[in-house]
A and B are shown apart, each in its own frame.
Chain A
Amino acid sequence: MIRVIRAVRNTSCALLTGAGVVFSTTAHAETVAVGPATVHIGDGTIMDDAVVLVSGDKIVGVVPAAEAPSDAERVGPAEGEEDWVITPGLIDANAKLERLDAFAVAREAQLSLVTRMVREMHDPRHLMCTCAGQALCAFASRHDSFAAQDAVCPLCGAPGPAPAEQFAPGLVSVQTPVESSSEVVPHTRVLDSVNLLSPDFDRLISGGVTTVFAAPDPSAVIGPTGAIIRTGGSLRDRVIQAEAGPTAVVGSGPYAYGPNNFDPIQGFVNNRTRRPGTRMGVIWVLRKALNDAGILASGGTPSGADTAPEPALRVLWDLLDSGTPIRLTAETGFDIESGLNAFAEFDAKPVVVGAAEAFQVIDSIVASEAPVVFGPIEVDPTGLRASAAMGFGGFGGMERRLDTFNTLLENGITTALSAQDLREENGLARQAMYAVRNGAEPADAIRAVTLTPAELLGIDDETGSITAGKRADLVLWSGDPLSGPARAEVVWIGGEPTLDRR
């Protein structure tokens, strides 16, 4: 095996060097042939033994290997590697960027505080515990007692034992960069919290993900507007859409997340303790915001407790008025149901995000004509996810079925797959694999991580499938991406190789 990989390297390094030059000169772009390999187009079709032709930053077309132009530069697997596969760059329509490094929350300053106080008073393994940094005075002792019981801290999710797992992929931090001066903040932007230099983007690339919708935490009823970002390439070209739409949340998120979302402490009340404390309250704030948007647009003055800031209501009205779909994050069946009802009341077009228990309310989703961004499929949840699966925050565990994605497809619901904050070995390609394992067609599973999310994000005219004229976002896999052992060997973003493991 090693010998073969070396052979690949020897034969293709020179080609790739040449290809790099070709890719970067669009004026006299020569055609580069990537392959031969099995090519997932992304729209649900598969071509065996085909070659993707790339010129500059664009895809020229896909042809059978035998018909590839003889003068084209060849990049791809060598003899004996015919089982390699090409897919479009994967797209995650609900990516939760790793908070510890993708979001800047003045962590240096914070760490110094935590270092000083926690090192002296508490178990040093909680140095990185964001809960301790944020709410040290009131909650550190409680936090410490959870740690002593080897239990997961319910405030911040930091696991008690095994400090090595503090940075494990998928660890959900409660620390939130979401603006919390109001529950309705669609006028703020997730992009303003994203560090484009974060190593989290490298992790996404190594999992074959080339485009993400950077979604906010579910800690506000109507959260900041997300951004559509390329995971690699020049910083100037990274941002495809800076304001790609806010996310409404129905569920426990707006009152369970966020380091300061607590009950009033000994009578001390601030703007956070005015938040809704129940699902009823969350739905009320959502409905009031949608209603107030209309009042403001018709010249009235919204008033009362929980009134959202004017800029927020204007953003909402623009979305309602133009019929732009609004993302609705809801996980349990009854949350999806009540969220869809609230949206219907104001003629808002929903995109259901999360949707763990969608199988319970399939008929409602079909009736609402809402597409779904589903996921992740949790086969073996660890850390906080495991505790959430067992029941968390006073609720019973969610019923996560492995075949819910297939149920959605079978009912004709447009469904994209998302890995949220899972990365690398547990990333988006693995989500497609789980879908296949539980009954989906391979081409459908690939579509759910390529063309379908591109369509939902409105960027399908430039990426999402291997189609002539689209941007050359490609992944060359060392085997079937839906099998365990294959990994992304080469990832091109806009024709530029941003990862090459060979």
Chain B
Amino acid sequence: MRAMTLPHRLAMAACCTASVAAAAVAGPIHIETTSIVQRDGSLAEDASVTLRGGRIAAIAEEAPGRAEVHLYPEGSVLSPGLIDLGSTLGVGNEHRATAGPIDPDGSVIQAFDPYDDGLAEALEAGITSLMLTPAPNGVVRGRTATVSTLSGRDPLVTEGAHLLVVGEPATDTLYGPTSRAGGLFELRTALGDAAAGRSDSVAITELVAGEREAVVVAPEADDAALALQTLFGTRMFGFTVLTLNGTLEFSMNLREYGVGNGDVGFVTGPYSLDDAPDHLAGAGGLERAGVSVALRGGTGTSPASALRTTAALATRYGMTQNAARRAITVEPARIAGVADRLGSIEEGKTADLVVFSADPLRLDARVLAVYIDGELVFGGPGEHSVTASTAQNGGSR
């Protein structure tokens, strides 16, 4: 079954509010799968979840009367909707500011098309939320946003963290800075001026005051190290380092850089099947260094399947399975600023859920169903779908 996307954008725009409202008043849904991904990333057996009013109403309880029971086959796993970071899906190239190295005033949400055709593909791969980032083509960039992959749904976070960039992406061969050293000079000056009260930019002043969050893009381990050297000690705000390459060597030396007490999270990925082993071992190395790790598939520039591929390869090269499941659910939720609502299966949280035919870390597992706001939007129990009355009579698996 295809996702429940409306055929025409204009039609969708006209009635999406009504459809969300309709979801909120739908009757309870009771999902039964063989196992469930818990907050700590482990799999628990024989769990069931009741959705009501768009939220997770109960866990491991009997199906309430008149509930629609969705019974999934043996081996199925209920997971929080996966969350991908650093995505560019739906923003095309419209997130690329050209106002020089320091431009903190844009917001990537203004470049986002909530009806982008690629969203359905992400949703069908089990990704229910995306943190979008502005293009890292400068030293200080505007704000990230977190959006749902359900076409037309309102954004989850519109004014997220600022993007700070260390390394090659921030360089510009025509207008400068042309080097990492030049970029770090700009960054140090911008933050230093703001700390001294000399900045014209409200955004950077608030950033320095700890009133805004920052995500640091550091494509190489060296860049991440320098980001830590530059920002630690002088800076008080929490930040996350998106680092892509050479992470293993870096993680082995993290404590030398004074990191490891949970104040900095790391994002790494995407991994692909033809990457070198020492690159793929990066996530495991970060985990062993004791920092929180999120994995990234880069949906938009990578295929939607890249997030789970990344997690699978990370476990194959040393990351524990529980950490890998956390790294595509609860950890990215924290970085994307939606941990209070999404990222784990807990009572009261928004019911963005995915049913896989097996452990999502297994690449042979399929997506059987996707629920957003407590409503089935893709797949479903199929022939295994049963009504509450037949379930009480024993049902059929």
A contact residues vs B (CB 8 Å cutoff) = 104-109, 177-182, 185, 187-193, 195-197, 224, 234-236, 260, 270-272, 311
Contacts and interface: CB of A to CB of B under 8 A. Distances in A.
A178 B179 contact: yes
B176 A182 contact: yes
Interface size class on chain B is: 20 to 34
A91 to B, nearest CB: 23
B167 interface: yes
Contacts of A106: 167-168, 219-220
Contacts of B175: 181, 271
A109 B167 CA distance: 12
Contacts of B250: 197
Contact of A190 (B174, B181, B244, B249): B181
Contact of B226 (A107, A108, A192, A311): A192
25 contacts: A104-B220, A105-B180, A106-B168, A106-B219, A107-B220, A108-B220, A108-B244, A108-B246, A109-B219, A179-B181, A180-B176, A180-B179, A181-B182, A187-B185, A189-B181, A192-B181, A192-B226, A193-B180, A195-B225, A197-B222, A197-B225, A236-B258, A260-B173, A270-B173, A271-B175
A178 B181 CA distance: 7
A177 B168 CA distance: 10
Contacts, number: 86
Contacts of A109: 168, 219, 245
Interface-central residue, A104, A196, A197, by most chain B CB under 10 Å? A104
Contacts of B256: 234-236
Interface in B329-356: none
Given A182-B176, A195-B225, A270-B173, A188 B219 contact: no
Interface string B156-185: 000000000001100001111111111011
Contact of B182 (A188, A191, A196, A270): A188
Given A180-B179, A182-B176, A188-B181, 9 more contacts: A109-B245, A178-B179, A179-B181, A180-B178, A181-B177, A189-B185, A192-B181, A196-B225, A311-B189
Interface in B240-272: 244-246, 249-250, 253, 256-258
A107 B185 CA distance: 21
A305 B30 CA distance: 73
Contact of A197 (B174, B181, B185, B249): B249
B223 interface: yes
A260 B171 CA distance: 14
A428 to B, nearest CB: 25
A254 to B, nearest CB: 14
Nearest to A270: B174
A260 B189 CA distance: 27
A188 to B, nearest CB: 4
B257 A179 contact: no
A311 B193 CA distance: 13
